[in-house]
Chains A and B, each alone.
Chain A
Amino acid sequence: MPVLMTEIPLHTEAVIESISLPANQQRRLANHGIRLGTIVSVPRRTAGGSFIIAIGPNRVAVDRATLGGIAAQPVVAQAPSSGHVA
């Protein structure tokens, strides 16, 4: 079952299943590589109430509301962190 990204433990890899945000935000996220099917993780929270999203080697900071608009399916623990990231 996909869960909101805000509820997924830090450092857990997850596949994005749905994004419930306005179209322009979805497009902005997609520009940064955050879209359906992407494997992401949240390595840490930051000062200022934001979160870092890791997409492969890239890092994007988003606020809590944006992160809460993303639902993802956690990847099974033994899965390697390599692989294709769009």
Chain B
Amino acid sequence: MALLHRPATHSASKEEISTRCELRTIALVGPPNAGKSTLFNSLTNARRTVGNWPGTTVEVGRGVGTFRPGDGSRMTVLDLPGAYGLDPQSPDEAFTAQLLTDTDRVRPDVVVVIVDATRIAQGLYFVSQVRDLGVPAVVALTMIDVAKRRGVVIDVDKLTADIEIPVIALDPRRVRGVSALGEAIVTELETAAVDVRGSAFDASVEATDRRFLWVESILHDAVTYDHAPLTWTDRVDAVATSRVFGPLAFLVVMWSVFQATTRLAAPLQDGLSNFFTGPVASVVTSALERVGLGDSWLLGLVNDGVIAGVGMLVSFLPLMAIMFFLLAVLEDSGYLARAAVVTNRMMRAMGLPGKAFLPLIVGFGCNVPAIAATRVLGDARHRLLTALLIPFTSCSARLTVYVLIAATFFPKSAGNVVFAMYVLSIVIIVVVGYALRATLWRTMGTEPLIIELPPYQRPLARIITNITWVRVRGFLSTAGGIILATVVALWFLQSTPMPGKSEFANVDVSDSVFAAASKTVTPVFAPLGFDDWRTTGALVVGFVAKEAVISSWAQTYAIEEPMNPANPGELSAAIRSDIERSSNGNVIPAVWAFLVFLLAYTPCVATLAAQRREIGARWTAFGVAMQLGVAWILAMLVFQIGSRL
């Protein structure tokens, strides 16, 4: 859910871009992790997700910015996926290249090449290609202060004169120099020729060599290299990527994230939960009673459907926000690229490149943007395999259910149980990935690991808050509607009696349509130790969205105050009672089996939609079957073995 934008911005298809740009168009291009999305946000006041790791942008962002206040210089700004040049090696790079090199389409009016001063040769190579196209261009030079600290001194005036393109040094993270860039863009537009189709792109080896020679000559003239001191990035990396301490550091970092998430969220959830089940429910009940609807089914729908749904959604927010915040800190600091290196060997065992770790780690926040992030991988089979594995990454929606179950059955070690679920998630990904590699993709080659390690940077509160807010809002706008609709639909199913039983909205849940439907699938779960219709009904609802599992239980058990997973109260007792009965007293094995099933089966319909978009309906269906099969087999093994120990 990371790639969601305010109304001013949205992800646009290539056709949209070429047909909808009534305003003049500015395209932001450059290598991955050069600061394009941060600059895009500064130019358009948008909130596009940014991160200090390659591959943050895998879709095109579109926004509108005013570059010279007062003279109406409003322009469309496109944030294109990161590319090292116009000779692409992955689909997201191909998209950027095609937009700039396709002479049959109208090209952007001005191309802004973002050049990271710490990697100036890389950026200038891209500049050389854009220059060859003959389109109006401006260079935005970022990270100049970091480069200076690392011994790279750039003479901006000389650079401008040498490349014959305006160069603006700026810091988009702190919004410094952005207005100067706007001025340069407007000036470039005013002086540029009307026809911006430019020349065809020459991708020959000779042209590439010529460009590298050009870059070399520019560097000789405009850049000096002092002796680079040992930076603190080097010192931290000596531990973070160390053969011994690297994996330990990775585990400690991830453990800390999940401990902090579960511990910090609980008290906040208490407050929100109490607010909805207390004052809000009371006010609504009083209001309905005053208008004579106190005894009607509407009171049940509003209290048990709408308020329960909204309350549950809101009570999730602290959990989601803390998780998104901590992942954003890791992203913005630059640690995630190191994590990809540390996990490289594990990834290669599955035939995947180390870079595949990046979409997988995004999956721990939410599976939906993670599926889209597979586009950073160059090989189509790597993308397919990664997209099939992402649903096994334990997203934050599942976290809410873990917390409830852990607080119910393992109150003294809830944090460790939750952490164990994340470790198990990684184990399942490795095992399933290895199995798929050994069977369906035996001929798949491995992509070499070549990944840049950006300098560590101190995460900025503004950027972290921004990322967190974009993701929380994405959760609210996509999952929110699904959760609310599911809760209301569930209320109707539970309020509708089977033929000949009672009347609508005045029916025992066990006589409802919901119970009847749940009972039909219940026998399948007998070998797993939780063949109780209330439990299986919750899992069926969880197919739509995992967040709705708790509300399903709450409604099924008709318990009024169930919305705080960390303090489940009566709900806890009700669930415990049913699992005791269905497992014949083998409660702990059945609980673990339930947790394992919850982890491994299909995450939500939104993930399926994202998968269908990226890998097609056939592979999506294969994925669903595989997830259900893996979930059932693992949960069955856990219960059967656990109950015999």
Contacts and interface: CB of A to CB of B under 8 A. Distances in A.
Given A45-B243, A49-B345, A81-B228, A31 B84 contact: yes
A33 B119 contact: yes
B610 to A, nearest CB: 27
A85 B121 contact: yes
Contact of A46 (B89, B125, B215, B342): B342
B147 interface: yes
A86 B225 contact: no
A80 B337 CA distance: 30
Contacts of A31: 31, 84-85, 122, 125
A47 B344 CA distance: 8
Interface string B199-234: 000000000100010011001100101111001011
Contacts of B219: 84-86
B450 A82 contact: no
Interface residue SS majority, chain A: mixed
Interface in B433-453: 448-453
Contacts of A76: none
B448 A66 contact: yes
Contact of A56 (B215, B228, B348): B228
A26 to B, nearest CB: 10
Contact of A47 (B118, B125, B233, B241): B241
A32 B450 contact: yes
B353 to A, nearest CB: 9
Contacts of B244: 47
A44 B225 contact: no
Interface in A34-86: 35, 43-50, 52, 56-63, 65-66, 80-86
A66 to B, nearest CB: 5
A50 B227 contact: no
Contacts of A57: 118, 147, 150-152, 228, 231
A50 B344 contact: yes
> 6 nearest interchain CB pairs?
A47-B246, A48-B344, A57-B150, A31-B84, A46-B241, A63-B449
Given A45-B243, A47-B242, A49-B348, 18 more contacts: A24-B89, A25-B448, A25-B450, A28-B450, A44-B241, A44-B242, A48-B341, A49-B344, A50-B344, A52-B453, A56-B151, A57-B152, A59-B237, A60-B451, A62-B449, A81-B228, A82-B151, A85-B219
Interface of A: 21, 24-25, 27-33, 35, 43-50, 52, 56-63, 65-66, 80-86
